[in-house]
Amino acid sequence: MHRFYLPPAQCTGDQLRLTDREAHHALHVLRLRAGESITVLDGVGHALECEVTGLTRAEVSLRVRHRHFIPPLPGQITLLQALPKGKIMESLIQKAVELGVHKVVPILSERVLSQLDEEGAEGKREKWQQVAVEAIKQSGAAWLPTIAAPVPLAQYLARPAAFELAFIGSLLTERRHPRAWLAEAQAQLGRLPGSLGVWIGPEGDFTPAEVAAIQATGAKPITLGRLVLRVETAAIYCLAFLNYELNTTP
């Protein structure tokens, strides 16, 4: 069944409309016909099974047959990703959506090559947010992550988010397996952490001073194995681990 996205405010009634980008895809790529069934995702947990009831040159009318609610993961995961070069970020966002991330914050650290002004940062954010929209449509994920505009590390650390547990991928010797930190946090809280942060450095990793500043906010250094992983591999490793643990731990 084909999937489409509409913002929550456009999914309140029993009659829905696809317009703009979504209508173009339905009309000119998929060539939908009246009577066909599709799924509409609103990005906040609802999957709406709909019937196509009408088509014009620029709009698709739908009737909602059933509404389903899919609960989120027990913990909200924020990926704090030092901005990689090229188009790696787009692929990384796609995988992060599939692995249940709640928010992605691109970080401009000392070893990040890209330097963006405010307008450029917002343009990137809009592009990446659309990548996330396409990813939930492809994967069927019911929750649309928030993609933040790239932010300098020092600016983010001036007002850091308060996570119940945060990891930082580390090449240092003082590090533990993420399961050890997760078990310790669960024992302290009496439950799984409700908010989790994952810090992943750029090519060449964060500088020692940056690592110290991040750890000063409470981030726990974790090992990702004996090999030095690429940026995107490290992020997927951490998110896959947390997705598995949050979905299977009692």
- Whether 227 and 199 map to the same domain: the answer is yes
- pLDDT score for 45: 96
CA-CA distance, 103 to 148, in Å (whole number)? 8
Mean pLDDT, all residues of the chain: 92
Mean pLDDT of 96-102: 95
Assess contact for 94 and 131: CB atoms under 8 A: yes
Sheet of 2-5, strand order = 2-5, 37-41, 46-55, 60-69, 15-18
pLDDT band at 85 (very low <50, low <70, confident <90, very high): confident
Domain final residue, candidates 54, 69, 84: 69
Q: Domain count of the chain?
A: 2
Q: Which of 77, 74, 9, 18 is nearest to 46 (CA)?
A: 9
Strands 46-55 and 60-69: antiparallel
pLDDT at 249 over 60: no
Contact 55, 32 (CB under 8 A): yes
The closest alpha carbon to 100, from 138, 134, 145, belongs to 145
- CA dihedral (238, 242, 245, 248) in degrees, to 10, reads -130
Tokens encoding 154: 């020092």
> pLDDT band at 250, cuts 50/70/90?
very low
What average pLDDT does range 42-51 have in this prediction?
97
Q: Are residues 33 and 50 in the same domain?
A: yes
Amino acid found at 18:
L
Domain identity same for 80 and 184:
yes
pLDDT one-digit tens code per residue, 113-153: 666 766 788 889 999 999 999 999 999 999 999 999 999 99
User: If you average pLDDT over residues 37-50, what whole number do you get?
Assistant: 97
CATH number for position 153: 3.40.1280.10
Distance between CA atoms of residues 167 and 219, nearest Å: 5
